[in-house]
Chains A and B, each alone.
Chain A
Amino acid sequence: MLYSIKNFIAHKFLLRELVIKGIKLKYRRSYLGILWSLLEPVLMTAVLTVIFGTLFNNNNPLFPLHILSGRLLYSFFSSATNMSLRAIRSNASMIKKVYVPKYLYVLSSIIYNYLIFLVSLVVLFGLAIILKVYPTWNLLLAWLPLVLLFLLAFGVGMILATIGVFFRDMEYLWSIIMTVIMYASAIFYYPEKILSSQYWWILKYNPLFQIIDMFRKCIMGQTMSMFSLLYASGFTLVTIIVGCAFFIRKQDKFILYI
């Protein structure tokens, strides 16, 4: 344990550089730069609001806010886990030549996506003001789902990064799973109808849905449910333990497969 902490401190500059590298390479030669990350959720929300608002006869004026909040959290989770899945292989040239604690590549992928996600929350606050949803005391608790989201992505990322080294088709499998998770996270519909149907368990035991739900309640001025908090925290904790244990057990073999 002491050794791991020392090792982390010795490589803290690398973690910073890796995060900066991700951001620099993403926005290099793109004129709109970070604006792209803001534009995408706005356009998607507009499209989803029109389609699903009409389809489900949804006249709730706050529906766009519901979609945007769900969409932002989901796309962070989706891009962070996808990037983790490739984290080890895309840094193969470095791993082959010099010793680096390998979890740093996973951690930097998550942090990098998280920073972009935090910036994109600006759009959400903009929309909330337009729709006249003003902050309440509940907003002070919004950090809870946001921290859980980061940790859950890290735990899942560690598992995926390990599998990704050995099995290249995991990328396809994971994109299918992410689509399923998207539909099971109540992003573009209100969850109440499903929660009262026989399929309630799909939403209830989906940790990402619970995190999104907590976050929505914080911005809409409602109290988050205790079950959401406990279940999502428990699930996250288990995922991180499993992810780190799995990664540590297999990491010495990575070099032979990349």
Chain B
Amino acid sequence: MEKGDIVVNNVSIKFNLNPEKIDNLKEYVIKKLKGEISYQEFWALKDVSFELKKGERLGILGLNGSGKSTLLKTIAGVYKPTTGTVRKSGLLMPMLELGAGFDMQYTGRENVFLYGSVLGFKRDFMREHYREIVDFSELNEFMNVPLKNYSSGMRARLGFSIATVLKPDILILDEVLSVGDAKFKKKSENKMMELIEGGTTVLFVSHSLSQVQRICNKAMILDHGKMISFGDIDEVSKEYEKIIE
């Protein structure tokens, strides 16, 4: 398996939804004794299989609740598939729900090193890339400010900068390019193109079809957790246009 390859094999994800959320022991014991605990099964993904080779860019299309984010989270390793397997190789950089896994008490600078260690990088390695990350994010004067005082756009910018400067083999982007001002959007799209030329595999979710068409060469459509279409971007986006009409 080459770095940047992804093989998703018959992946299904089942959530047990409680009709009412029980999050304390007292209620749980009472309900359990009365036999009132019931679960509703909900399949967020059903039997999804596909393969991506190094350097391919997959756009994931679908309406709200179709399982796009769930699929990305499963590939990122945040969710574990109920059945099926995900195999991937190389450095994977997830950008889920607008931003990386940051600590809000920590300053921007500290978060760069913390996030680096989450991905398995030493301090020294991060120090070498620190300047580049700060310059790209244009957050130089905010690096010693705790992240809780950042705007959501600033957080996303910092996350995006770390993710792209470290040149991952696989990049996962969930609605990330839609934040930030127009100038940063343009800059980050250029950066993406640079990475793509370097052979990074990209998984991309966006509600903007034109953005998906610009960045991706492949696409899939998810509908209620099922993959109903997978192929070249042109064919699939035609199909998608028909669905959303």
A-side interface residues toward B, CB under 8 Å? 10-11, 13-14, 16-17, 21, 24-25, 93-100, 163, 166-170, 173, 252, 255-257
Contact = CB atoms under 8 A, between A and B. Distances in A.
Could you say which of B16, B80, B94, B103 has the most chain A C-beta atoms within 10 Å of its C-beta?
A: B103
A99 B24 contact: no
B26 A169 contact: yes
A87 to B, nearest CB: 14
Contacts of A99: 76-78, 94
Interface in B65-98: 76-80, 94, 96-97
The 6 closest A-B pairs by CB, nearest first: A99-B77, A94-B101, A169-B24, A97-B101, A13-B117, A17-B117
B23 A95 contact: no
Interface residues of B, number: 34
B207 interface: no
Given A25-B106, A97-B78, A167 B25 contact: yes
Given A13-B121, A16-B117, A252-B80, 15 more contacts: A13-B120, A21-B103, A21-B106, A24-B106, A24-B110, A93-B103, A96-B96, A97-B78, A97-B101, A98-B76, A98-B119, A99-B94, A167-B24, A167-B25, A170-B25
Main secondary structure of the interface of A (DSSP, over half): helix
Interface of B: 15-16, 23-26, 28, 76-80, 94, 96-97, 99-106, 110, 113-114, 116-123
A13 B123 CA distance: 8
Could you say which of A13, A97, A167, A256 has the most chain B C-beta atoms within 10 Å of its C-beta?
A: A97
A96 B78 contact: yes
B94 A98 contact: yes
B22 to A, nearest CB: 9
Contacts of B102: 93-94
A197 to B, nearest CB: 33
A94 B78 CA distance: 10
Given A11-B120, A13-B117, A13-B120, A97 B23 contact: no
